[in-house]
C-alpha cells in the first residue's frame, strides 16, 4: 500500500509541482486531512525531488474563521 501512495505522490509532484521553475526554492504547502495523515510520506517524496515541505493544515476552515473573527473585532 505504501508504494501505491508514494507512486501517486510522485506523479502529483512531477506533474503539478515540478512544472514551476522556482519549486525548489520555496516550501510546498498542503491542506486537508489526507495531507495531514500522509505528512511523513509527502515529506519523504518531496525530499527525494529536492523540494521542501511547508505547512500542512488539517482543517483550513479553522484559520479562515479565526481570520474573519479578528477582522470583525478591529
- Per-residue pLDDT tens over the stretch 36-47: 999 999 999 999
Domain residues for the domain of 27 are 2-72
pTM: 0.85
How far is it, in rounded angstroms, from Cα 9 to Cα 3? Answer: 10
CATH number at residue 50: 3.30.420.40
pLDDT score recorded for residue 1: 82
- Per-residue pLDDT tens over the stretch 6-39: 999 999 999 999 999 999 999 999 999 999 999 9
Unique residue bearing C-alpha cell 511547508? 54
Question: Do 71 and 44 meet the contact criterion of CB atoms below 8 Å apart?
Answer: no
- How many distinct structural domains can be found in the chain? 1
Half-sphere exposure of 8 toward its Cβ, with a 13 Å CA cutoff? 9
Amino acid at each position: 500500500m505504501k508504494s501505491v501512495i508514494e507512486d501517486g505522490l510522485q506523479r502529483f509532484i512531477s506533474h503539478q509541482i515540478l512544472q514551476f521553475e522556482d519549486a525548489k526554492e520555496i516550501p510546498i504547502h498542503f491542506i486537508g486531512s489526507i495531507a495531514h495523515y500522509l505528512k511523513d510520506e509527502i515529506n519523504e517524496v518531496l525530499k527525494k525531488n529536492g523540494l521542501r515541505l511547508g505547512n500542512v493544515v488539517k482543517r483550513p476552515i479553522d484559520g479562515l474563521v479565526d481570520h474573519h473573527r479578528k477582522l470583525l473585532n478591529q
